[in-house]
Amino acid sequence: MDIHSLLKTYFGYDEFKTGQEKLIRGTIEGRDVLGIMPTGGGKSLCYQLPAILLEGLTIVISPLISLMKDQVDSLNEIGIGGTYINSTLDQSELIERLQEIREGKYKIIYVAPERLNTGFFINLVEDIKVSMVAIDEAHCISQWGHDFRPSYLEIPKFINSLRVRPVVAAYTATATKEIVEEIKELIGLKNPLESIIGFDRPNLFYQVVKVSNKFSYLIDYLKNNFQKESGIIYCATRKTVESLVEKLNEGGFSAVEYHGGMDGNLRQKNQDDFIFNRRRIIVATNAFGMGIDKPDVRFVIHYNMPKNMEAYYQEAGRAGRDGEPSDCILLYSPSDIVKQKLIIQNNNLPPNRETMLYKNLQYLVDYCHTNDCLRNNILAYFGEIIENQSCNNCGNCLDKSEMVDITIETQKILSCIYRTEERFGVNMIIDVLRGSKNKKVLGLGLDKVSTYGIMKEYTEIALREIIMTLVSKGYIYMTADKFPLLKLTSDSLQVLRGKIKVYHKKHLVERKASITGKEL
């Protein structure tokens, strides 16, 4: 049977989704493949379909133990023999399955990475022909990625231990260059056929919201949008998850919590309550979500900023997998940046690694401050070429806020950075501009510089907003350090000379700015 007939007969689909056919053909021809597709892009089919055609067994390595059963059940339903091996099996079940695998009852087996190099598994694969090893969530091999699993590093050893090298197919939804390179190198893909599928999710409406009271914004949002439908609210800490769930339930919303510190059974129950629509809202840390296939999530709200664009895209991308319009809203507050920086600092990482994390974080901070199309900003991060200037389906493209000329404000800020010799970070520059009398400012004699107190009338928060916006536009460069310094760029000079005009949303830069950074 050709692959189109197989697609129809087994999976019931008439057409391949973008990228699937190329990857499937590559696999059948015996080439290693690397498929980079956004969540919901249809990665599973790319290894399930060739598995039917290939002669021996396909081993799927997946970190998502909780999903293996579902995947295998669906395969069996459509007539493809599949099973799984993970820590949920007891000894007798395990022995039975191994026997069945030996007897050739299955075409596909799902295996947790920890099992691969165990004695019984090695024994098993010595006796049978393994045609393909498919690695799901392949980015878990990257120590620099957000889902690192040490057991993934064992995969190459396992592949090398096989008598005949199988086709190796790696799949991920993570597309940053560094991680893609690492996947290829660490797994040892041989001249792989690569396919990167578009990261645009046209049905997702992206928005960044800057409000003084996130909770009241949230309540209004929940009352006014998607009343009876499902959504995820992501928070940075377990504590915030717990307090938010409590407040939402007190307010009459049906919410459950999910975080890594909870009892496993309760966590599973909450997840199921959400997936099966018994509860409408799940409030979670980033522990929730990988592999969750709930198609009708109508909104993903980030109550706190995640650690980088990669994580944001993944988490926000859990909205609207059914293609229906859905919202991805990030509630911004400057204190979230501080929290994320603390997390980086507390990890005692090598300096180059730390710099990379600061840079990654900064990209997301820039996203929160750009006035340009948010969708394009995300796609640019993933290296996609952008044809349209605006998508007309994001908070910025639809924003009708009045814009004001902030060229003079910008020039004052840039002068201050220049006068203080590019030696300070945001806080100090704000203090100098506002004429603070704090000890550090006075001690360093910064009250003597000509820009001291020239923006007295601005709130700290309005100044911070302007500075961060200038960073996002490239008019100021912020070093990627523990204590980042503000520096001038070649564009700063153009602004100082009046060759470039700068605009920003009026309500964000008004002297009595509405943002206070206060939370809950």
Interface with ligand ADP (CB under 6 A): 13, 15-17, 20, 37, 39-45, 293
Cβ proximity to ligand ADP, 75 vs 433, nearer residue:
75
Cβ proximity to ligand ADP, 171 vs 458, nearer residue:
171
Matching residue, tokens 């260059």: 177
Residue partners of 261: CB distance under 8 A and separation at least 6: 238
CA distance 187 to 153: 8
Cβ proximity to ligand ADP, 6 vs 211, nearer residue:
6
Q: Are 121 and 115 in contact (CB under 8 A)?
A: yes
Minimum CB distance to ligand ADP, residue 61 (Å) = 14
Identify the DSSP state of 135: E
- 279, two tokens: 């509860």
Minimum CB distance to ligand ADP, residue 20 (Å) = 6
Minimum CB distance to ligand ADP, residue 39 (Å) = 4
Burial of 395 (0-12, 13-18, 19+ CB in 10 A): middle
The distance of Cα 260 from the centroid of its chain, to the nearest Å, equals 18
Cβ proximity to ligand ADP, 8 vs 165, nearer residue:
8
Minimum CB distance to ligand ADP, residue 77 (Å) = 12
CA distance 48 to 78: 11
Cβ proximity to ligand ADP, 42 vs 192, nearer residue:
42
Cβ proximity to ligand ADP, 43 vs 267, nearer residue:
43
Cβ proximity to ligand ADP, 16 vs 312, nearer residue:
16
Cβ proximity to ligand ADP, 171 vs 475, nearer residue:
171
Q: Are 305 and 330 in contact (CB under 8 A)?
A: yes
Instruction: Kindly give the residue spans of alpha helices, DSSP state H, lying in 7-142.
Output: 20-28, 43-53, 65-77, 91-102, 119-127
Residue partners of 449: CB distance under 8 A and separation at least 6: 416, 419, 420, 432
Between CA 148 and CA 205, with CA 37 as vertex, the angle to 5 degrees is 100
Using CB positions, name the residue nearest to ligand ADP: 42
Cβ proximity to ligand ADP, 37 vs 414, nearer residue:
37
CA gyration radius, the chain: 26
Q: Cα dihedral sign for 416, 422, 428, 430? A: positive
Minimum CB distance to ligand ADP, residue 105 (Å) = 24
Left if phi > 0, otherwise alpha if psi is -120 to 50, otherwise beta: which for 221? alpha
Burial of 172 (0-12, 13-18, 19+ CB in 10 A): buried
Matching residue, tokens 């959504």: 231
Minimum CB distance to ligand ADP, residue 295 (Å) = 7
Q: What angle in degrees, to the nearest 10, is found between the helix axes of 460-473 and 351-369? A: 110
Minimum CB distance to ligand ADP, residue 226 (Å) = 21
Cβ proximity to ligand ADP, 13 vs 483, nearer residue:
13
Minimum CB distance to ligand ADP, residue 12 (Å) = 8
Minimum CB distance to ligand ADP, residue 232 (Å) = 16
Minimum CB distance to ligand ADP, residue 92 (Å) = 31
The distance of Cα 341 from the centroid of its chain, to the nearest Å, equals 17
Minimum CB distance to ligand ADP, residue 320 (Å) = 12
Cβ proximity to ligand ADP, 325 vs 474, nearer residue:
325
List phi, psi (to 5°) of 284. Answer: -145, 160
Q: How far is CA 190 from CA 8, 169, 185, in A?
A: 31, 10, 9
H helices then E strands: how many in the chain? 21, 17
Give the H/E segment covering residue 327: strand 326-331
Pairing of strands 57-61, 130-135: parallel
Cβ proximity to ligand ADP, 181 vs 293, nearer residue:
293
Minimum CB distance to ligand ADP, residue 394 (Å) = 23
